[in-house]
Amino acid sequence: MGQIKVIKGDITKVKADAIVNAANTTLMGGGGVDGAIHRAAGPALYGACEKFHGCPTGEARITGGFNLPAKFIIHTPGPVWHGGNSNEDQLLANSYHNSLTLADQHLCETVAFPSISTGVYAFPLERAAEIAIKTIKKFLLTAQIVNEVTMVCFDEKTFAAYQQQIY
């Protein structure tokens, strides 16, 4: 079974085979981590994302890493929190699972995730961390290639929530 690490930092600076972008459904860049990844990767990322014509919530698409230290960027729109009765938990689990599946298919051994949906999408942090870690652990049991998943947390509160879930 692979390992899960939790670090505090900037996902655009992480050296991994793939980093995951908490994208919106247009894949055309936005605020938060999405905007930071688009800025750091450079303008070619926009063109690469354009050809997908968007991506439904919970699914994932892959592009090259362009100016990032990562070889690939996996884009997944997480769910917007609507109180918990709109299938948000399953959609969030799908974002992690489908991202990892794409990473495995593209021979990525190392994958770095941000905390999906916990920023402007307002998914409750502790609940999101629990779903993320549970989904990653389950995936790693049968992963072919992926053997190291790093949760890259932007702030102390997020870092603490994910740390709590891996022990």
Name residue, tokens 């600076």: 13
Q: How many CB atoms lie within 10 A of CB 130?
A: 16
Query: Is 34 one of the annotated active-site residues of the chain?
Result: yes
Q: In the numeric block, which tokens belong to residue 72?
A: 């690939």
Q: In the numeric block, which tokens belong to residue 143?
A: 């992963």
> At 76, is the secondary structure helix, strand, or coil?
strand
Relative to beta strand 72-77, strand 61-64 is antiparallel
Write the CB contacts of 109 (distance below 8 Å, at least 6 apart in sequence): 17, 145, 146, 147, 148
> At 23, is the secondary structure helix, strand, or coil?
strand
Candidate list 17, 34, 89, 155, residue with the active-site label: 34
Catalytic residue list: 34
